[in-house]
Amino acid sequence: MSDFKKSGMSRRGLLKAGAVGGLVAATPSFFIKDAWAEEFRNNPTNSGEVKLGFNVPQSGPYADEGADELRAYMLAVKHLNGEGDGGMLNTMKPSMLTGKGVLGKKVTYATGDTQTKSDAARASAKRMIEKDGVLMVTGGSSSGVAVAVQSLCQEQGIIFMAGLTHSNDTTGKDKRRYGFRHFFNAYMSGAALAPVLNKEYGSDRRAYHLTADYTWGWTQEESIKNSTEALGWETVNTVKTPVGAGDFSQYITPVLNSGADVLILNHYGKDMINSLSQAVQFGLRDKQVNGKNFEIVVPLFSRLMAQGAGDAIKGILGTTNWNWSLQDDGSKAFVQSFGAEYGAPPSMAAHTCYVQTLLYANACEMAGTFYPPEVIKQLEGFNFDGMGNGPTLYRAEDHQCFKDVLVVRGNENPSSQFDLLKVVDITPRAQVEYDWTIFGGELGPYEVKM
């Protein structure tokens, strides 16, 4: 069915083909289902190209992050096809990527707008799968969207390489056989942050949590609470705030008299920008409580978002998946390549998206086929290095990547407009690993009936 809709075909070409194609495509799929039983969805065998689906937020609050993800994807496609300087293709180990496409086929792509809404994200993913004939879907900037698209991809038999998603659920209770996450999660943030918090702020602290009132916020609150309480910290209160509240003043003022000396903001995106800058305005950081300096912690930091908070981020501790200031070969190659192309360093969202694309392409090469179950088996338990995070494992049991986690601090004296985060500590991988059974969930089958 997707044969005549080759990706390279222009709109005009489509118009011409329309007359014939309409008749074929209108044939209800159950008539021809049997003919494809040996096949898999969107099999590119008879085509010279392989098409990937980039599903990123292009409108709504995360549009800029989505735009950065898209830049990374286009760069990855270039590098896979042997254009440009090759970026991480040169540093990735082990790698079977040749810069001549994937399995000899040129890589092309389709894009979609998730709008950071589950419904819209699934609709655009379906459009790419059903109409554009993509073989893999990737991208996104929120856990709700990642979980929703991931389960769709499982049903459709299409591999999903998650973009930015930090909730424990993505590879925990909502994990799927066809879904893979390179990004770290809330549990790892907690495990990486705790020793640094202990070192910087001591073990006798009283924490107050403000938490975005939805699934991601809750998992992060739980993870951070567990790891700080293990240090000996006391949790004074955990307060849920409505998503998109805008003005957080009524949630910040009770902190002043709560006896807490640390405020933990389990917010992301605009909520983080607003709550952090308002907390600073309320003078929290100038306060002395229990004879200690009052501190604010933002467990998940994003450089792109941090720009919106201006000076408020200076000195604030948090974690991040990757930062462009890293000096390993992989990071340097990627930053150089990205910077030369777009004039700005990549964000951590861009990094994870770029790496995911390369990992998928490499797995296809290793499998020698695009057949998803074989590709999945190559990704499961795959050990690699040279992608910016040190030696990394794609754990087979839950499809979560395990790698070093960066603890960062908002830079007090930025040397450039991009130099917002300073790496305080690189938490080794062993310290953030956990038993995959603690979050429950099951992966599901390799073979998907169509």
Window of 22-30, 91-99, 197-205, 389-397 that interacts with other proteins by CB under 8 A: 22-30
Q: Which of 98, 290, 293, 336 binds other proteins (CB under 8 A)?
A: 336
The answer to whether the beta carbons of residues 301 and 320 sit under 8 Å apart is yes
For other proteins, which stretch binds (CB under 8 A), given 99-107, 260-268, 292-300, 335-343? 335-343
Kindly state whether residue 35 participates in binding other proteins, applying the rule CB under 8 A. Answer: no
- By CB under 8 A, what part of segment 391-410 binds other proteins? none
Beta strands in 204-311 (DSSP E): 206-212, 234-241, 262-266, 288-289, 292-293, 295-300
Separation CA 333–CA 375 (nearest Å): 26
Q: Does 270 bind other proteins (CB under 8 A)?
A: yes
Q: Does 309 bind other proteins (CB under 8 A)?
A: yes
Q: How far is the CB of 225 from other proteins (least distance, A)?
A: 17
Q: Per CB under 8 A, does 243 bind other proteins?
A: yes
Cα 115 to Cα 113: distance, rounded to the nearest angstrom: 6
- We find the least distance from the C-beta atom of residue 100 to other proteins, in angstroms, to be 20
Residue 412 as a binder of other proteins (CB under 8 A): the answer is no
Dig out the tokens for 4 from the structure.
Answer: 């005549």
Distance CA 326, CA 331 (A): 6
Of 300 and 448, nearer to other proteins (C-beta) is 448
**Shorter beta-carbon distance to other proteins: residue 229 or 311:** 311
Q: Restricting to residues 282-301, name those near other proteins by CB under 8 A.
A: 282-283, 286
Inter-residue contact 376 to 366 (CB < 8 Å): no
Smallest separation, CB 378 to other proteins (Å): 21
Query: Which residues inside 348-387 make contact with other proteins, applying CB under 8 A?
Result: none
- DSSP for residue 409: E
| DSSP-derived secondary structure for 356-381 | HHHHHHHHHHHHTS--HHHHHHHHTT
CB neighbours of residue 250 within 10 Å? 9
Identify whether the C-beta of residue 422 lies closer than 8 Å to the C-beta of residue 411.
yes
> Of 180 and 268, which has the nearer Cβ to other proteins?
268
113 is a site residue for other proteins (CB under 8 A)? yes
Does residue 416 belong to the site contacting other proteins (CB under 8 A)?
A: yes
8 lies in the site for other proteins, by CB under 8 A: yes
Strand partners, 421: 410
